Amino acid sequence: MDLPIYFISDIHLSLNLTDREKQRQKKLFDFFNEIKNTGGTLVINGDLFDFYFEYKNVIPKVFFKFYHELMKVRESGIEVHYVLGNHDFWVKDFITEQLFDKTYFSDTSFEVNNTKIYVTHGDGYLSWDRGYRALRKIIRSKLFINLYGMLHPRIGYAIGNFVSKKGGNYLHSAERNKKISDEMSIHAKKKIDQGFDYFISGHYHQAEDRKLNDGNMIILGDWLSFFTYAKYDGSEIKLHKWKEI
């Protein structure tokens, strides 16, 4: 993987192209332009879309501008990796074979410059997520995906748009954020004890860089309110807030 390596998560591209959504996407595309200028590698760590379901012959046209901008990133020589999240797991060959260099259906890890990096979207880790873990098994099953794929795309996307949180409901109290961070740090410590230098998670819509023993846990924030990303320059990974250049 070429350096620097950029990590972002929880962009939650919406099926509704409102003025606010266009402004959010402009920030993202400005960020893409910066990556094209610096070179390196981009890792999108889940929930790129707020809802995404890929039919055999149909993809959501509302994301056309994003598809175009991402392909320009790749055409500039940047590798783009995609770790699937809980909002965008239902992908097929357009995502895996055409849009991204590599797509991961579960946690993954990288070793670059003798630095070991564990990457997870982060959903299902919390002890109180038992109900969600059971639901995840169902909605990620081949049976569910095949049945949902029998719906007309207009109906399928209407259902997805209805159940979408639409951005604003991702904000949590400081108390809840601390509770999540403390529990995620337990999982992060286990990976660090196994020899990883960094444990990188998305999903929780908080931006944190936390020192743990001989490593760090980084929760990437989001591109709804934080507009944060992590950058590995070959020696360390730091969390940054995006500011248009």
Looking at residue 141, what is its pLDDT? 94
How many domains does the structure of the chain reveal?
A: 1
CA–CA dist 30, 24 (Å, integer): 10
Pairing of strands 5-8, 228-232: antiparallel
Give the confidence band of 4 by pLDDT, cuts at 50, 70, 90.
Answer: very high
Pairing of strands 215-220, 198-201: parallel
Residue 228 clears pLDDT 90, i.e. is over it: yes
- Three-state SS annotation for the chain: CCCCEEEECCCCECCCCCHHHHHHHHHHHHHHHHHHHHCCEEEEECCCECCCECCCCCCCHHHHHHHHHHHHHHHCCCEEEEECCCCCCECCHHHHHHHCCEEECCCEEEEECCEEEEEECCCCCCCCCHHHHHHHHHHCCHHHHHHHCCCCHHHHHHHHHHHCCCCHHHCCCHHHHHHHHHHHHHHHHHHHHCCCCEEEECCCCCEEEEEECCEEEEEECCCCCCCEEEEECCCCEEEEECCCC
Residue 99 clears pLDDT 70, i.e. is over it: yes
Tell me the per-residue pLDDT of 194-225, one tens digit each, with 9 for 90 and over: 999 999 999 999 999 999 989 999 999 999 99
Residue 244 clears pLDDT 80, i.e. is over it: no
User: Do the Cβ atoms of 63 and 49 come closer than 8 Å?
Assistant: yes
Mean pLDDT of 85-101: 94
Looking at residue 102, what is its pLDDT? 98
Give the confidence band of 139 by pLDDT, cuts at 50, 70, 90.
Answer: very high
Residue 166 clears pLDDT 60, i.e. is over it: no
CA angle 227, 228, 230 (to 5 degrees): 155
Give the confidence band of 161 by pLDDT, cuts at 50, 70, 90.
Answer: confident
* Averaged pLDDT of the chain: 94
pTM of the model: 0.94
Which residues contact residue 125 at a Cβ distance below 8 angstroms, ignoring those fewer than 6 apart?
A: 183, 184, 187, 201
Pairing of strands 207-212, 198-201: unpaired
Looking at residue 172, what is its pLDDT? 77
Looking at residue 200, what is its pLDDT? 98
Looking at residue 169, what is its pLDDT? 60
Residue 168 clears pLDDT 90, i.e. is over it: no
Closest CA to 183 of 212, 146, 154: 212
Give the confidence band of 163 by pLDDT, cuts at 50, 70, 90.
Answer: confident
Looking at residue 171, what is its pLDDT? 72
Which residue range is the domain that position 139 belongs to?
5-241
Looking at residue 140, what is its pLDDT? 92
How far lies 155's CA from each of 5, 152, 237, in Å? 38, 5, 42
Residues in the chain: 245
Q: What is the CATH number of the domain that holds 193?
A: 3.60.21.10
Give the confidence band of 33 by pLDDT, cuts at 50, 70, 90.
Answer: very high
Residue 147 clears pLDDT 80, i.e. is over it: yes
